[in-house]
Amino acid sequence: MFSWVSKDARRRKEPELFRTVSEGLKQLYATKLLPLEEYYRFHDFHSPALEPADWENKPMVLLVGQYSTGKTTFIRHLIEQDFPGMRIGPEPTTDSFIAVMGGETEGVVPGNALVVDPRRPFRKLNSFGNAFLNRFMCAQLPNPVLDSISIIDTPGILSGEKQRISRGYDFAAVLEWFAERVDRIILLFDAHKLDISDEFSEVIKALKNHEDKIRVVLNKADQIETQQLMRVYGALMWSLGKIINTPEVVRVYIGSFWSQPLLIPENRKLFEAEEQDLFKDIQSLPRNAALRKLNDLIKRARLAKVHAYIISSLKKEMPNVFGKESRKKELVNNLGEIYLKIEREHQISPGDFPNLRKMQELLLSQDFSKFQLLKPKLLDAVDDMLANDIARLMVMVRQEESQMPTQAVKGGAFEGTMNGPFGHGYGEGAGEGIDDIEWVVGKDKPSYDEIFYTLSPVNGKITGASAKKEMVKSKLPNTVLGKIWKLADVDKDGFLDDEEFALANHLIKVKLEGHELPAELPPHLVPPSKRRHE
């Protein structure tokens, strides 16, 4: 009896089934989070509704910095190709937001055309008006780097009145819009012009809640001596510490990100290591894109829930007939107390609440009579999404990552240091002697042999106990010495002959010089007498 009722109930309890993570995110947002956002006018206060293209687009990298810090040159260095609309110079040359994206043909798409293209994730930028759209364009070109990522070049941040008056649109709000949707934000600083203007400081503060996406690049570092560079680095960290209020130290990459010769080459190794680290971070973006979108959806859902509690609380406190305007002002002034009340009632973390001052400013222009009371059904749908659907998508993210382990940014500057003698660390540490005909350990073997024969070898070999007495003199931890023993005992007989003992000492030297040990012994380090058995 009433079997249709039980079927309907079962259907509601069945978990959502998705083919891909991006499809799942798109569907969850449209069916569970968007209704809550629309009901409580979330888009009027925080961020426009997300479009299907937001879930499907390639990872994006946003470059932000004061003028002449090398933003456009950085893009040119990455893709190793000029792009349409590119202008480079010491004066403020880039006066537009330029989305550098992959395409079959080279060309420029103006801002007004971009915001009506449903395939692009820029449709909601329409709300910033013509003043912005005339300063926004897409430079598309065929390039292997742009097959995996898109890069957003921004106008240089100016000082004083120029920044506030001549833009004609809310520069910080546009950057905040991009910050919500990009995968990485790179703040560029010039080692010669380290001062952070008030305008730049405001921009960095607008990126609050996106600290996990921020990386800092100290560019043009080859133009100053090592001692100066240390001072500049310290000053930058001190300045950033006052603006980015996080307990963790922000990651700063030091280098000279262009293809010209280094002016002061004494820090070459440092610059190479830093560039390699930054490139690895950018190359990982396609692999981590789904996880980033999932993380952003969770952040948005938490904010939307808090917003719903705020709006419904304000509606509840409003009178039905008289004194609406005076009550509205009173509620806005006491918004901090409402925050505390919601925090206690619903056990919400203070970090989930929107900025108090900004919220007060926005509320003053709103009609409270159009606000809605709490609708538990909408909040339950979002809670169900966070508790159940997100967990299933997390499993799918890991599955997709395991199926695409090699998905990384390729081409351009990323290819230059991949293989060959100019690869990072080539011919150094355990790689020393990789191209030599002679065994690289052989040149130091006579001195190692002198120690070897003082350890009373039997049948040309020493025991592990004898080797240990000598190896611990290096003061390296037992975990490291244990790994060196495994690498040096090539024939795995539990003893070391003279060649294996020399190899162990060579690997100790490699580690003491600050290099990493290899996971497996490279062919060029295998002792000559052992190579015949391979």
Angle subtended at Cα 23 by Cα 17 and Cα 27, rounded to the nearest 5 degrees: 75
> Do 108 and 247 have their domain in common?
yes
Would you call 259 exposed, middle or buried from its count of C-beta atoms within 10 A (0-12, 13-18, 19+)? exposed
Asked whether residue 533 carries a pLDDT value surpassing 50, the answer given is no
Phi and psi angles of residue 157, each rounded to the nearest 5 degrees, phi first: -75, 125
Structural domain includes residue 367? yes
CA distance 281 to 271: 15
Asked whether residue 506 carries a pLDDT value surpassing 90, the answer given is yes
pLDDT of residue 6: 43
Q: What range defines the domain where residue 245 resides?
A: 59-283
CB 347 within 8 A of CB 383: no
Pairing of strands 97-102, 214-219: unpaired
pLDDT of residue 421: 64
pLDDT of residue 447: 92
Average pLDDT over residues 314-330: 83
CB 265 within 8 A of CB 255: no
368's tokens: 């409270």
> Do 481 and 333 have their domain in common?
no
Structural domains counted in the chain: 3
> Do 448 and 327 have their domain in common?
no
Check which CATH number belongs to the domain holding 455 and give it.
Answer: 1.10.238.10
> Do 183 and 134 have their domain in common?
yes
Strand partners, 189: 218
> Binning pLDDT at 50, 70 and 90, where does residue 3 land?
very low
Structural domain includes residue 88? yes
Structural domain includes residue 16? no
pLDDT of residue 11: 40
The dihedral built from the CA positions of residue 384, 386, 391 and 394, taken in this order, carries a sign that is positive
pLDDT of residue 82: 87
Asked whether residue 166 carries a pLDDT value surpassing 80, the answer given is no
Asked whether residue 464 carries a pLDDT value surpassing 60, the answer given is yes
Which of the listed residues 373, 401, 429 is the one where a domain comes to its end? 401
pLDDT of residue 416: 61
Asked whether residue 13 carries a pLDDT value surpassing 70, the answer given is no
Structural domain includes residue 152? yes
Asked whether residue 86 carries a pLDDT value surpassing 90, the answer given is no
pLDDT of residue 417: 58
136-141, strands of its sheet edge to edge: 107-110, 136-141, 97-102, 150-153, 60-65, 184-190, 214-219, 252-254
Query: SS3 letters for 271-313?
Result: HHHHHHHHHHHHHCHHHHHHHHHHHHHHHHHHHHHHHHHHHHH
Of 2-16, 126-140, 389-403, 446-460, least confident by mean pLDDT is 2-16
pLDDT of residue 8: 42
Biggest distance spanned by C-alpha atoms of the chain: 105
> Binning pLDDT at 50, 70 and 90, where does residue 96 land?
confident
CB 68 within 8 A of CB 193: yes
> Do 346 and 488 have their domain in common?
no
> Which residues touch 419 (CB under 8 Å, ≥6 apart)?
none
> Do 485 and 388 have their domain in common?
no
Average pLDDT over residues 163-167: 58
CA distance 88 to 28: 43
Which of the listed residues 283, 317, 340 is the one where a domain comes to its end? 283
pLDDT of residue 378: 92
> Do 150 and 218 have their domain in common?
yes
Percentage of the chain beyond pLDDT 70 is 90
Q: What is the full DSSP assignment across 201-254?
A: HHHHHHTTT-GGGEEEEEE-GGGS-HHHHHHHHHHHHHHHHHHS--SSPPPEEE
Structural domain includes residue 217? yes
88's tokens: 């480079």
Query: SS3 letters for 354-393?
Result: CCHHHHHHHHHCCCHHHCCCCCHHHHHHHHHHHHHHHHHH
pLDDT of residue 160: 54
Structural domain includes residue 52? no
**How does 190-202 read in b/e, with b if 16+ C-beta sit within 10 Å?**
bbeeeebeebbeb
pLDDT of residue 497: 93
> Binning pLDDT at 50, 70 and 90, where does residue 159 land?
low
pLDDT of residue 309: 93
Task: Identify which of 433, 455, 434 has the alpha carbon closest to the alpha carbon of residue 444.
Answer: 433
> Do 271 and 378 have their domain in common?
no
Between 159 and 365, name the one with better pLDDT: 365
Cα–chain-centroid distance for residue 431?
30
> Do 319 and 355 have their domain in common?
yes
* Residues composing the chain: 534
pLDDT of residue 201: 82
CA distance 482 to 468: 9
3-class SS of residue 87: coil
CB 496 within 8 A of CB 459: no
Of 144-153, 164-173, 490-499, least confident by mean pLDDT is 164-173
Helix axis angle, 268-283 to 285-317, nearest 10°? 60
Q: Which of 259-263, 497-501, 529-533 has the highest mean pLDDT?
A: 497-501
Check which CATH number belongs to the domain holding 212 and give it.
Answer: 3.40.50.300
> Do 242 and 358 have their domain in common?
no
Between 293 and 433, name the one with better pLDDT: 293
Structural domain includes residue 458? yes
* Distance set, CA 312 to CA 302, 303, 319, 371, 385 (Å): 16, 14, 13, 7, 21
Between 501 and 238, name the one with better pLDDT: 501
> Do 186 and 315 have their domain in common?
no
Structural domain includes residue 390? yes
pLDDT of residue 10: 42
Asked whether residue 440 carries a pLDDT value surpassing 80, the answer given is yes
CB 514 within 8 A of CB 269: no
> Do 203 and 321 have their domain in common?
no
pLDDT of residue 162: 52
For residue 469, how many C-alpha atoms fall within 13 Å in the half-sphere facing its CB? 9
Which of the listed residues 401, 425, 457 is the one where a domain comes to its end? 401
Average pLDDT over residues 397-423: 70
Asked whether residue 43 carries a pLDDT value surpassing 50, the answer given is yes
Beta-carbon count within 10 A of 277 CB? 14
pLDDT of residue 140: 92
134's tokens: 């005339």
Check which CATH number belongs to the domain holding 371 and give it.
Answer: 1.10.268.20
> Binning pLDDT at 50, 70 and 90, where does residue 420 land?
low
Query: Could you report the per-residue pLDDT of 119-152, keeping only the tens digit for each?
Result: 888 988 988 889 899 999 999 999 999 998 999 9
* Strand ranges, E, within 39-156: 60-65, 97-102, 107-110, 136-141, 150-153
